[in-house]
Structures are given as C-alpha cells and as structure tokens.
C-alpha cells in the first residue's frame, strides 16, 4: 500500500507539471540590466546599456580579447517544453570586428535528467553584421524532451591579435509553433564601443 501511495503522489505531480501554463524565457531582452535569469560559461560576458541594444536599453555582449583563454563561451536558459510539440526560437545577433570569432543560436533538447538528447543551431555568423535575426523555426521537440536549453554561443578558435571582437545578442524569444508575425528587419549599426 505504501508503494502505491508513492506512485499515486508521483502521478499527481506529473499531471500538475504537464498542465501548467507553457513556460517562457525570462529576461529575454536583458532589460533588468542583469543576467539573473541566465547562466553563462566562458569568459567576458557583460550586459551593456546604450543605443546599441537591439530593443530596449540593454543587450548582452561577449568580448573576445587577445589575451583570452576560453575558446567556447555561451549564455543559456532552460525552459520547460512538451515532448513531440513544435517550437520556434530566435535571437538578434550583431557582430563587430569579429576576425576569427563566430556566433550562433543553439537549442539543446534536455531529458528529465537534464541530459542533452540532441541539439541544433542556426547558421553561423562569421562576419561583421548589423543586428540580424538568427532563428530555428518550427522545430519539433523529441518525445523524451522536457526542456529546451536556449543558447547564444560564441566560438573563438583563434584569438584576435590586436583588437577586441564583439559578439552581441538581444531579443531572445521562443514560442510554441511559429511566431505570429513577420520577423523584424535588421537595423542598428555601429561598434559596441560607440
């Protein structure tokens, strides 16, 4: 009887989770001025404030500097999903003085143990660009997925020799299905140092 009771309790918890309102990205545009909702790895992530934000007042930038050591850097947030359902993801990326550095939007599908089942990413940004949409549109979560790890990735296989490279992200978003609007066109310009 005791074992049955535990099983019943587990089912109740599962049902409560599966019927919850779909979770969303938090602080997706960094407008708190902090990174409380995000986890980073690798060096030199910072929130910046200024006209160079894609939307609002803030964005997040990774500086790739000549003296750096980390080849891989990322900023991510895990969001619950329903296995077998389709989702769309986007972020706006600006690249300035990139030299050998590159960036992309990545999604890892996580199972109940937090282990990545599979991953996919947007085309790689390899050259300087104004804010441009990077997206994964209408992709289906594996049936065992319980969360999407939504990631901005910077890869710096070769460090710049003289000047800093800037890989800049703002306006992360995700939705079940597809976004209900046409994507905004790229805008803004200038270097992160301006």
Q: Which is nearer to Ca ion, 30 or 104 (CB)?
A: 30
Residues that contact Ca ion, how many (by CB under 5 A): 7
Least CB distance to Ca ion at residue 173 (A): 11
Nearer to Ca ion, 121 or 188 (CB): 188
In the bound state with Ca ion, the residue whose beta carbon lies nearer, of 76 and 109, is: 76
Q: Find the shortest distance in angstroms from Cβ 181 to Ca ion.
A: 18
Give the x-and-dash track for 37-66 against Ca ion (CB under 5 A).
----------------x-xx-x--------
CA distances from 88 to 55, 94, 107 (A): 20, 20, 10
CB of 170 to Ca ion, least distance (A): 4
Distances (CA, A) of 187 to 52, 55, 78: 10, 10, 28
Which residues 133-192 are close enough to bind Ca ion by CB under 5 A? 170
| Min CB(184)–Ca ion separation in Å | 13
Write the DSSP symbol of residue 119.
E
- Rounded CA-CA distance 92/127 in Å is 14
CA distance 14 to 148: 18
Q: Which helix (H) or strand (E) holds 126?
A: none
Closest C-alpha to 44, from 63, 30, 28: 63
What is the footprint of Ca ion within residues 10-39 (CB under 5 A)? 29-30
Q: In which residue are the tokens 């850097």 written? A: 73
**Please, which of residues 71-130 interact with Ca ion by CB under 5 A?**
none
d(CA 62, CA 75): 9
Residue 31 Cβ vs Ca ion, minimum distance, rounded to whole Å: 5
Residues at the site binding Ca ion, with contacts judged by CB under 5 A = 29-30, 53, 55-56, 58, 170
């Amino acid at each position: 009887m005791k074992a049955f009771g535990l099983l019943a309790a587990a089912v109740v918890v599962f049902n409560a989770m599966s019927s919850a309102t779909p979770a969303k990205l938090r602080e997706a545009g960094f407008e708190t001025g902090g990174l409380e909702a995000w986890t980073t790895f690798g060096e030199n992530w910072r929130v910046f404030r200024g006209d160079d934000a894609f939307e609002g007042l803030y964005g997040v930038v990774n500086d790739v500097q000549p003296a750096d050591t980390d080849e891989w850097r990322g900023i991510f947030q895990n969001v619950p999903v329903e296995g077998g359902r389709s989702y769309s993801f986007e972020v706006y990326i600006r690249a300035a003085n990139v030299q050998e550095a590159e960036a992309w939007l990545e999604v890892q599908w996580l199972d109940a143990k937090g282990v990545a089942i599979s991953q996919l990413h947007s085309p790689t940004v390899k050259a300087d660009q104004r804010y441009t949409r990077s997206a994964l549109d209408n992709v289906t979560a594996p049936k065992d997925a319980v969360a999407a790890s939504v990631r901005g990735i910077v890869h710096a296989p070769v460090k710049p020799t003289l000047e800093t490279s800037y890989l800049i992200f703002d306006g992360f978003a995700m939705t079940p299905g597809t976004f209900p609007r046409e994507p905004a066109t790229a805008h803004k310009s200038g270097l992160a140092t301006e």
